[in-house]
Structure 1
Amino acid sequence: MSPAEPTRNPVAGPRGSPGTPVPGSGPDPFALRFPVVALVTSAGGLDALTQVLAPLPADLPAAVIVAQHQSPDRASELTEILRRRTALPVRQGRDNDELTPGTVLVAPAAHHVLVTPHARIGLLDVGRLPPARPSLDLLLATLAVTCGPRALAVVLTGRGTDAQAGIRAVSHCGGTVFAQDHASSAHFGMPGAAIDTDLVHDVLDLADIAAAIRTHVAHHRR
């Protein structure tokens, strides 16, 4: 696949079937029993997050995690801004917060965020140390092994390649990956890197992502 192709045509699907359990793991080995949507982004992410979250209903039967690369040198207003732009309850994530359907947890600046086996998040305080934080790869890898086929990773606008390894984990554990298309991305580095794996299920215009999330959640709720 040439790098230009996914910007014109959605990827039909990853290698292997979505929702395929890990070999030898039994019928459903994953800890979380409801869909979890991870919206991951970097440069240009505020507008993208707003357009994705605004159409989602307050009773969305899925937990949502928002992770955007943020500077550790100043207080983040991301949570407050998103709270004003969606019907979903939005709060900044705290260590050991429970993942709850219909609630958005925002990863705080200067922390990496993990998804734990008890349907909670864990925060790692890394201060000003590199690499980018929160690490999108780390978030998605832990989401993959706890949520399996009920994980949905949505890679939005951003520079660099963070999230590329994480979506490999999501795909390996049977989850689903969406990526924002080139035309609607302020910065195509992260979505392009995701698409280059050939593991993205759908490449979507920003305006179509909220509807795709609702469809995914409807098919994966229990």
Structure 2
Amino acid sequence: MAVDRTRGWWEEYRGLLPTPFLDLAELDHHSSYLREVSILFVPGLLQTEDHARAVFSSRVPLLTPQELELRVHFRMERQRLAIPYEVIIHEAALRIRVSDRATSRAQLGRLLELSDSDRITLRVIPFDLDNFSRASSTMTYACGPVPKLDTVVRDTPHGSVFIDVEAQLNAYRARFREVKELALDPKQSRDLIHGLAKEL
């Protein structure tokens, strides 16, 4: 699919994908920095194509082959984002096999590769961690040009919710700081991911 970068690449998918997909890509585009906490899934911005395909294949109702490939292609396009990205992933997300061993191994390898990027900071929350009570705190925090334009995205069973009320933003900023303090540092995180890959 040809992409016209002059009017927002996501516009090529309008009418082909649900609007929340496009809204998320547009939010990425206007953000200066992204922070994410993910508990049960490898974030879409870090997924391999096979991993993304396996995730979308589990959707209910089932997608047609065309709908499936369109979503995978869109996710890969979204990964072209070039802004700083700080992500914290729970070990659970790294261990859950959305497909087979080969897909999981490739996904962990991809995380190791991306963690070498100057713009990506990746931390892992290990299972062996005391005082962690944020198991339901998956979120994406998009930093705007100024703090008042920040937005938090929460996934719900009924779709994505966009939050931009200042009091709530302050709470999510504090939550991210707390989780970051508990997570492993980037080197320890790489070591843990490397160990998980060796187990496969």
TM-score, L = length of structure 2: 0.32
Comparing both structures, which one devotes a greater share of its residues to helix? Answer: 2
Give the number of the structure whose alpha-carbon radius of gyration is greater.
Answer: 2
